[in-house]
């Protein structure tokens, strides 16, 4: 199984176009939150409509997972906590989203919402406890915020990670946690796109402007992870202990050559959800 991992597209339509073009190369697309941009001049309701259209097209190409991020929160619950109602609605498109746990082969995926208060946090704790009772040989979480005190949550002056996530990882020891949220972590000193907490690999692709987005590819069966940005291409061996720095990609897999062609709009015109 080969999974394409992105996060923090923040309503960048060229990056969504690239995602549609790239998706057929993968068995799974994991979108780790912040599809929308609360700072955009585009009305939030219009953003939701457009992103839902992209997600509908994407789900017709491959399997899709989407968790909510802090930019995706569109209303408050009756208890006053911020929630992402629209992310909960995309399950009707066949997309795994907040609160879901499901299996593909011997891998269990658990999709966690962004939590803004004690009630949603408790729902995540209940979700993880219930999923742990049926865990498979491999367990992957999708959780927008990376763990606290990890290079994947380093912002240059302080960490922006989730302390509770660290505690959940220590308790349940998942195989991987896929995150986003801290845009600059992979690009700055003492930051990184990967980390390992005990037996758990943690990933944060980061954010770059333009097309394509920065992304991670998880070759789950072969036990390898690849990080591709405008400035570098790196890979790590998931079967080996944590080692820094990551190695540059030496041998270009065929799927990576294909993605390079997609990245050049003159060679591969993008699909579009507009109109």
The predicted-structure confidence for 146-192, as pLDDT tens digits, reads as follows: 999 999 999 999 999 999 999 999 999 999 999 999 999 999 999 99
Give the chain's end-to-end CA distance (angstroms, integer).
33
pLDDT tens digits, 64-101: 999 999 999 999 999 999 999 999 999 999 999 999 99
Order the strands of the 176-179 sheet from edge to edge.
101-104, 107-111, 138-142, 176-179, 200-204, 194-197
The answer to whether residue 46 scores a pLDDT higher than 50 is yes
Q: How confident is the model at residue 263, as a pLDDT?
A: 58
pTM for this entry: 0.94
Q: How confident is the model at residue 250, as a pLDDT?
A: 83
Residue partners of 22: CB distance under 8 A and separation at least 6: 4, 212, 259, 262
Could you tell me the domains of the chain?
2-263 (3.60.21.10)
Q: How confident is the model at residue 255, as a pLDDT?
A: 80
């Amino acid at each position: 199984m080969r999974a394409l991992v992105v996060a923090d597209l923040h309503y960048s339509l060229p990056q969504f176009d690239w995602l549609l073009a790239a998706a057929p190369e993968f068995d799974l697309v994991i979108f780790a939150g912040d599809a929308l941009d609360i700072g955009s001049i585009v009305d939030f309701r219009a953003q939701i409509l457009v992103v839902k259209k992209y997600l509908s097209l994407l789900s017709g190409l491959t399997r899709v997972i989407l968790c909510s991020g802090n930019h995706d929160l569109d209303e408050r619950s009756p208890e006053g906590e911020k929630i992402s109602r629209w992310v909960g609605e995309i399950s009707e498109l066949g997309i795994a989203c907040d609160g879901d746990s499901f299996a593909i082969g011997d891998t269990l995926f658990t999709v966690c919402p962004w939590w803004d208060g004690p009630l949603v946090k408790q729902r995540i704790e209940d979700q993880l406890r219930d999923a742990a009772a049926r865990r498979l040989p491999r367990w992957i979480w999708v959780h927008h915020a990376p763990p606290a005190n990890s290079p994947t949550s380093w912002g240059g002056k302080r960490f922006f990670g989730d302390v509770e996530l660290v505690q959940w990882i220590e308790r349940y020891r998942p195989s991987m946690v896929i995150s986003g949220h801290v845009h600059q972590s992979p690009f700055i000193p003492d930051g990184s796109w990967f980390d390992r907490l005990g037996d758990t690999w943690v990933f944060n692709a980061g954010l770059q402007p333009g097309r394509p987005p920065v992304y991670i590819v998880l070759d789950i069966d072969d036990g390898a992870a690849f990080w591709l940005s405008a400035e570098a291409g790196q890979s790590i061996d998931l079967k080996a202990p944590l080692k820094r720095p990551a190695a540059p990609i030496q041998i270009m897999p065929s799927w990576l050559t294909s993605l390079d062609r997609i990245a050049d709009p003159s060679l591969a015109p993008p699909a579009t959800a507009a109109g």
